[in-house]
Amino acid sequence: MGILSASIAKKVAMALSGLFLVFFLAQHFTINFSSVFSEETFNSWSHFMGTNPLVQFVLQPVLIFGVVFHFVMGIILELKNNKARKISYKSYKGNTNSTWASRNMIISGAVILAFLGLHFYDFWVPEMVHKYVESNPDDSFRYYGELVHKFESPVRTGIYVLSFVLLMFHLWHGFASSFQTMGWNNKFSKAVKGFTKLYAIVIPLGFIIIALYHHFNQISH
């Protein structure tokens, strides 16, 4: 029972960290999508997020911890599941028993983690250098130009697009599974599942639109 309880606790922790990251992803998407419509709005929101002490010194460390925790826990659970499968299922027939997304969560997760490394290198590291290493004066108008510059390269834009496609697959299974792990089973279950599937498509697709918009908008000019 102790082993079972520990396993359930790990899955619940994994689900909670996933739901936390889903919430952050929606907030991150909202700010970034504003860059498609208004340079001023994007600069304003980005400046707030980049200078607010609560965001910088409380929420940002919590977010970094949440990302690391979620992926480490995912690896631990995947290794444990693989170890438990001593005998292959004779009835296993690929998509007949499960979706590609559910069978390859560790792969999509690993690619997304690698992408997050690139994303941190592209945006977070330069931000830290700009503010704390070079000690540049505050500039609330620099964010839009920095964002656009990152999508000049077709290779980097392609990497972003591919990463968001894999994020779509990851969310397609993971978001809904989080509610199942939490024991969500009531009259709203069907609606919640529908929402998770819609979210899994709309948010990554929105990020793809952002990347492609800023890439091709530069070419047209």
**Residues 147, 50: Cα–Cα separation, whole Å:** 14
Instruction: State how far the Cα of 70 lies from the Cα of 73, in Å rounded to an integer.
Output: 5
CA angle centred on 179, ends 85 and 165, rounded to 5°: 75
The pTM of the whole model exceeds 0.75: yes
What are the tokens at 171? 């969310």
- 8-state DSSP, 50: H
CA distances, 5 to each of 13, 18, 75 (Å): 12, 20, 19
pLDDT in tens, the chain (221 residues): 444 456 778 888 888 888 999 999 999 999 999 999 999 999 999 999 999 999 989 999 999 999 889 988 888 887 777 776 554 544 445 555 566 666 667 777 787 888 888 888 888 888 888 888 888 888 999 999 999 999 999 999 999 999 999 999 999 888 888 888 877 777 888 898 899 999 999 999 999 999 999 999 988 66
> Which pair of tokens denotes residue 7?
């396993």
Q: For residues 206 and 29, is the Cβ–Cβ distance under 8 A?
A: yes
- Nearest Cα to Cα of residue 21 among 133, 137, 118, 109: 109
Largest Cα–Cα distance of the chain, in whole Å?
Answer: 65
| DSSP annotation string for 82-122 | HHH--S--TT--GGGTS-HHHHTHHHHHHHHHHHHHHHIII
Q: In the prediction, which pLDDT does 26 show?
A: 94
DSSP state of 56: I
- Tokens describing residue 35: 């860059």
pLDDT at 95: 52
DSSP 115-172: HHHHHIIIIIHHHHIIIIIS-PPP-TTSHHHHHHHHTS-HHHHHHHHHHHHHHHHHHH
